[in-house]
Amino acid sequence: MHQKRKEIDNKILEVYEDLSRTFRHVKESLAEIPSQYPGLERWIRFEKKLTTERRLIEEISLPCRFILEHFSSFMGKPDHTLGYRVGQFQVGRGLLSDFYIEEWGNVSLNLGNVELTWRDEDYKYFFYPDKVILRPCERAKPEIHLYFSFSFKYSHLLEMYLDVKDHPQVEYWHDDLIISERMGE
């Protein structure tokens, strides 16, 4: 694991643990509030997001994390949409508004009115400068293509994630990303 990333992860996990502890206390205090109160829904979404952030570091594969960290660089920015294709269907483009990581490594991208979901463990990753292909380990699941104009080199994450290319779930790493690696050394 990249040492700098590991140090940052440890600091972030400490903060998430503190937040989780505080959140549990607040949640107990909110137990007396009627369930139809709108503010409770916001707390539930906050809890889901907090859990996602912890799972991003602890539970999903390094290639999947790299993709989601890269997407965070342009998430919510209207000039950087995400194109996607699932199976044989050219689906379209959407503004990435958020992502969640559920139990068992199920990842959900919120793209406008579409929620695109896959289970991290069930896919191999093919990395190109401006797209990622998720190829299923089982033929019954669809192949997922994610296209983006904000290339990997723009987010400046490659240096911290150079070890992604050696991960067992990575089937292909484009030469342009290798060139970027040499430039970062």
**Type of residue found at 45:** R
Of 114, 71, 108, which is closest to residue 94 (Cα–Cα)?
114
Token digits of residue 167: 């991960």
Q: Residue 184 pLDDT > 50, yes or no?
A: no
Phi, psi of 5 (to 5 degrees): -65, -40
Q: Which residue has the higher pLDDT, 67 or 88?
A: 67
Q: Residue 39 pLDDT > 90, yes or no?
A: no
Whole-model pTM: value is 0.86
Q: Given this model, what pLDDT does residue 1 score? A: 54
Q: Given this model, what pLDDT does residue 185 score? A: 44
Q: Residue 43 pLDDT > 90, yes or no?
A: no
Q: Residue 35 pLDDT > 90, yes or no?
A: no
pLDDT tens digits, one per residue of 121-169: 999 999 999 999 999 999 889 999 999 988 888 878 888 888 999 999 9
Q: How far is CA 73 from CA 4, 96, 135, 153, 167, in A?
A: 19, 11, 24, 11, 22
SS (H, E, C) the chain: CCHHHHHHHHHHHHHHHHHHHHHHHHHHHHHHCCCCCHHHHHHHHHHHHHHHHHHHHHCCCHHHHHHHHHHHCCCCCCCCCEEEEECCEEEEEECEEEEEECHHHEEEEEECCEEEEEEHHHEEEEEECCEEEEEECCCCCCCEEEEECCCHHHCCCCCCCHHHHHCCCEEEECHHHHHHHHHHC
Task: Name 152's Cβ contacts closer than 8 Å, sequence gap at least 6.
Answer: 70, 127, 129, 130, 158, 177, 180
Length of the chain: 185
Of 72, 76, 48, 50, which is closest to residue 161 (Cα–Cα)?
72
User: Percentage of residues in the chain with pLDDT exceeding 70?
Assistant: 95
In whole angstroms, give the CA distance from residue 119 to residue 164.
Answer: 18
Q: Given this model, what pLDDT does residue 85 score? A: 93
